[in-house]
Amino acid sequence: MNPTREASNSPSPRRRLSLVDAAAEFVRHPSPWLIGTTLISAVIARIVVGDWRLWDTLLPFVMLAVFPFFEWVVHVVILHWRPRRIGALTIDPLLSRKHREHHTDPRDVPLVFIPWPVLLWLLPLVTAIALFAFSRTGLGLTYLCFVAALGLAYEWTHYLIHSDYVPRTRAYRAVWRNHRLHHYKNEHYWFTVTTTGTADRALGTYPDPVSVDKSPSVKDLHRRDPLSDPLAG
């Protein structure tokens, strides 16, 4: 079977969607507004503070290089977290629960986005890191600008992949195919979202799709008798 065709299978028919229509739907959700407001505020603050130095140029490139690996770790460790019991307490974060729902129905648009209750504590935390964890305020604000830009890029890319927008460029089609293989073929591979074959290649989760069996738990994460997880051990 053609892996690209299998990756594009979905429970409901796809319709033609322009980027303008996609953007109109994108801005109807809380996450882009919360992250976008943070980005605009950070850019304004960065311009006001000034104090531009060499690291303000270098830091974005470092963050861009690290981001695929950060994305991979979050996806594997947090989003695919298996609920655990400690005594009477069950540890099952909101992000993990929502991501399981997202796998159950990848076409449910609200589930594509980072849950807004998570952003209500995550964005202040990232802002605090920017203001207090750097040697100077200017560099911290450079970090905040770029982390917000990366977050917005992640949300847009992830939303667009799950929308009815048809890939029109080779580069985007590769990213689209990579993530849809994760959702429609095997959830144990292809963890990056905004890039393809970067962290997955380096960390051993970028196999030839033809060599991978379709997982029975791809839409039901952590089912009672799941496919053996190749990441374990």
Residue 107 lies in a domain: yes
First to last CA, the chain: 30
pLDDT at residue 17, rounded to an integer? 85
pLDDT at residue 13, rounded to an integer? 52
Least confident of 5-19, 30-44, 174-188: 5-19
pLDDT at residue 14, rounded to an integer? 56
Residue 223 lies in a domain: no
Residue 87 lies in a domain: yes
Quick one: pLDDT band at residue 5, thresholds 50, 70, 90?
A: very low
Sequence-separated (6 or more) residues with CB below 8 Å from residue 98: 111, 115
How many CA atoms lie within 13 Å of 163's alpha carbon, on the beta-carbon side? 21
Q: Which of 4-8, 44-48, 165-169, 229-233 has the highest mean pLDDT?
A: 44-48
For residue 91, report the phi and psi dihedrals to the nearest 5 degrees.
-95, 110
Higher pLDDT, 230 or 109: 109
pLDDT at residue 209, rounded to an integer? 95
Residue 206 reports pLDDT greater than 60: yes
* Dihedral (Cα; 193, 199, 201, 205), 10-degree rounding: -70
Residue 4 reports pLDDT greater than 80: no
Residue 233 lies in a domain: no
DSSP state of 81: P
Give how many domains the chain has, as a whole number.
1
pLDDT tens, position by position, 124-152: 999 999 999 999 999 999 999 999 999 99
Residue 32 lies in a domain: yes
Contact in structure between 177 and 4 (CB atoms under 8 Å): yes
pLDDT at residue 197, rounded to an integer? 78
Model confidence, pTM: 0.87
For residue 165, report the phi and psi dihedrals to the nearest 5 degrees.
-70, 130
In this prediction, residues 118-124 reach a mean pLDDT of 98
Contact in structure between 52 and 141 (CB atoms under 8 Å): no
Residue 61 lies in a domain: yes
The two beta strands, 89-91 and 84-86, are antiparallel
pLDDT at residue 233, rounded to an integer? 32
SS3 155: helix
Distance CA(58)–CA(63), nearest Å, equals 9
pLDDT tens, position by position, 9-35: 444 455 678 999 999 999 999 999 999
Q: Among residues 72, 37, 81, which one has the least CA distance to residue 154?
A: 72
Residue 226 reports pLDDT greater than 60: no
pLDDT at residue 87, rounded to an integer? 87
Residue 229 lies in a domain: no
Sequence-separated (6 or more) residues with CB below 8 Å from residue 71: 154, 191, 192, 193, 194, 195, 199
Q: Among residues 157, 147, 152, which one has the least CA distance to residue 60?
A: 147
The residue segments making up the domain with residue 148 are: 17-211
Residue 1 lies in a domain: no
Residue 83 reports pLDDT greater than 90: yes
Residue 7 reports pLDDT greater than 60: no
